[in-house]
Structure 1
């Protein structure tokens, strides 16, 4: 039976730094047998006992690592159970035989009988095997338990890392699906303003560049300060107001100044606001309106968006249509599992969204990263 590459390297890879563990392990067994730690330690320094102790440490360690790093990968992990059990039993028997040889070697070197070394008793080959075999089996079992526990912990940790990477990849994908959608609509708005009102188009372009900076450089984390997201909403609403002019009344209310220590996932709120501007009614001579309210109480956020609609022509965004809404619902499931309530209502002449989020504190509060407050472009 050739050791192969695995067998050739395990002695090198798993070697001297484990010996103190095995020395301590067998010393503890000696303490249990003798009943006195000092007596056990002094006895192990005497020549006959030192030979026996070295045999237990050395041969059981070799058997343990031979099993862990050769037999298990070569046979057990490949489903060759019969061969594994056979070779394991042979390994245990060989290690026990070498340990038994240590008893006879200690008597031979010292020139004393077993009774003179170990005290009165019936010492024969069966007696020594009855001690060495259970001890070797216990060492093998302990080592396998430690190894399997270590492998289980590593596997769980690896699964958690893979799940985390998968989650982050999916969140980035969903967020990036939203960004081009918003950018496309904003560019269309600016293009419309260039022909209608160049001055307002210039102001909107400046706001647009500021929002681009925010999207590219300031919202790559899974959470950002809530205050920054609110300012982002305000700037975005200003851009939409430019395009809509005065034909639609927009009411945006924030109950209190959001604290920087609270965090929120980027672009969670903006999808609903963008949806309201996209589907708001445009009846000439009739009220067309959008109402946006943001209430913060301790760590609870209540967000309400409602817009007027045309019942005959409006197609509501539900879970079965509209990539923006599906994305934000999926992100809510991923980022805020069981920590949000989303209620979407289609009325005869309005469309309303209520979102309640349980926020959490940011680990580190970013400094000097706020967007500038939106300017009043109507004066």
Structure 2
């Protein structure tokens, strides 16, 4: 399946709109400082003061970007507050110091010196006095504005994603009731258990218990946004055992999982189920060659990796299009909403098999100790 990049205006793609934003910001800043829109425009665009204004525009903007895209992700968001404050102070000092040469360049362009034009001497004391006034104020104001815009943007994106998740939850609840309660699966499972009652009562009893657990999970235990990973895996195992009853005896299934994962891991319900159901739905039904399904589930701390492969018929060209009853696009959309930037999905289709590799970054979910004790009894 080819990836087609979305068309985007080059002005937006390279964020060139930031340039007029900072020019406008610097103009408004000086207009408020001088108390005159005309004087601020004259100094910034129509006099030798353009050099000083350029320094006031470039270096506070660089300080803003360094803070937003380096200091905050690396130090503030990771709880290293002392280091963040230290580096932020250093950035403010560095930006303010780099603004001061704009005073000297402006004075040189005007044919005079900084002491006559701005009252700044050429020694270190004059440089220090210049740094601690307007340059510091300008840098702090720019950083504060940048953080406010970033926080507001993140809040709006979070609200938008939350609304999309709520809408998606309502839609997927109806879709999963429709597709997971597949009439063919239900009736075939019941019929298989019915015939087992006379042939193998013990197996019939065990299958009926699995069938009951599966329905309970679908009706009652999958209503939360996150459920314990163990419950989802138990559901998958029950589903696989019941599918094996109604599939041809020629089908070979293999399900491997490492069971040393933390009981506190949680996962969105039915995320894994879609791919397992699809494997059974589209597995080949050859008479003279093997029919197989192989499933491997590995959990390493918070990282989950699921590999599913199944043999397929040569004429089964619709598998990647109508995926698991709800469509491949819907599965990817649900993953993008529930696990933004925390998943990888690789789908491979060859002449003889179909493979899905899913990687997820799981979350911790609260486990009720009393419920866990009752389940062990």
Structure 1 length normalisation: TM-score? 0.51
Partner residue in 2 for 1:366: 368
- For residue 246 of structure 1, report the CA deviation from its aligned partner: 2.5
Query: Does structure 2 conserve the Cα–Cα contact (< 8 Å) formed by 1:226 and 1:259?
Result: no
DSSP 3-state at the match of 1:220? coil
- Size of the aligned set, in residue pairs, is 220
Partner residue in 1 for 2:177: 179
- For residue 222 of structure 1, report the CA deviation from its aligned partner: 0.4
Measured in 1, the distance between the counterparts of 2:252 and 2:324 equals: 27
Measured in 1, the distance between the counterparts of 2:176 and 2:240 equals: 16
Query: Does structure 2 conserve the Cα–Cα contact (< 8 Å) formed by 1:190 and 1:205?
Result: no
DSSP 3-state at the match of 1:222? coil
Judged with a 3 Å threshold, the aligned counterparts in structure 2 of structure 1 residues 213 and 350 are, in CA distance, closer, same or farther, namely same
Partner residue in 2 for 1:353: 356
Query: Does structure 2 conserve the Cα–Cα contact (< 8 Å) formed by 1:227 and 1:257?
Result: no
- For residue 288 of structure 1, report the CA deviation from its aligned partner: 0.6
Superposed counterparts of 1:31-70, under 5 Å? none
Superposed counterparts of 1:14-33, under 5 Å? none
Q: Which runs of 5+ in 1 are unaligned?
A: 1-152, 374-379
Higher Cα Rg, which structure: 1
Q: Deviations over 1:237-263 (max 9, x none)?
A: 111011115221100000233322111
Q: Deviations over 1:89-122 (max 9, x none)?
A: xxxxxxxxxxxxxxxxxxxxxxxxxxxxxxxxxx
Partner residue in 2 for 1:206: 209
Partner residue in 2 for 1:290: 293
Partner residue in 2 for 1:220: 223
Q: Which runs of 5+ in 2 are unaligned?
A: 1-150
Judged with a 3 Å threshold, the aligned counterparts in structure 2 of structure 1 residues 166 and 330 are, in CA distance, closer, same or farther, namely closer
Measured in 1, the distance between the counterparts of 2:173 and 2:300 equals: 27
Judged with a 3 Å threshold, the aligned counterparts in structure 2 of structure 1 residues 208 and 368 are, in CA distance, closer, same or farther, namely farther
Q: Which of 225, 236, 240 is equivalent to 1:233?
A: 236
- For residue 332 of structure 1, report the CA deviation from its aligned partner: 0.3
Partner residue in 1 for 2:310: 307
Measured in 1, the distance between the counterparts of 2:258 and 2:271 equals: 19
Greater RCO (CA < 8 Å, at least 6 residues apart): 1
Measured in 1, the distance between the counterparts of 2:281 and 2:347 equals: 16
DSSP 3-state at the match of 2:331? helix
Measured in 1, the distance between the counterparts of 2:333 and 2:161 equals: 16
1:170 aligns with 2:168: yes
Query: Does structure 2 conserve the Cα–Cα contact (< 8 Å) formed by 1:272 and 1:325?
Result: no
DSSP 3-state at the match of 1:256? coil
1:248 aligns with 2:247: no
Q: Deviations over 1:147-198 (max 9, x none)?
A: xxxxxx99x9899667635422312321431233122142132254267544
- For residue 356 of structure 1, report the CA deviation from its aligned partner: 0.4
Aligned-CA RMSD value = 3.2
Query: Does structure 1 conserve the Cα–Cα contact (< 8 Å) formed by 2:261 and 2:300?
Result: no
Query: Does structure 2 conserve the Cα–Cα contact (< 8 Å) formed by 1:276 and 1:290?
Result: yes
Q: Deviations over 1:118-138 (max 9, x none)?
A: xxxxxxxxxxxxxxxxxxxxx
DSSP 3-state at the match of 1:323? coil
Superposed counterparts of 1:139-150, under 5 Å? none
Measured in 2, the distance between the counterparts of 1:211 and 1:324 equals: 23
Query: Does structure 1 conserve the Cα–Cα contact (< 8 Å) formed by 2:261 and 2:301?
Result: no
- For residue 284 of structure 1, report the CA deviation from its aligned partner: 1.6
Judged with a 3 Å threshold, the aligned counterparts in structure 2 of structure 1 residues 188 and 325 are, in CA distance, closer, same or farther, namely farther
1:188 aligns with 2:190: no
Partner residue in 1 for 2:260: 257
Partner residue in 1 for 2:93: none
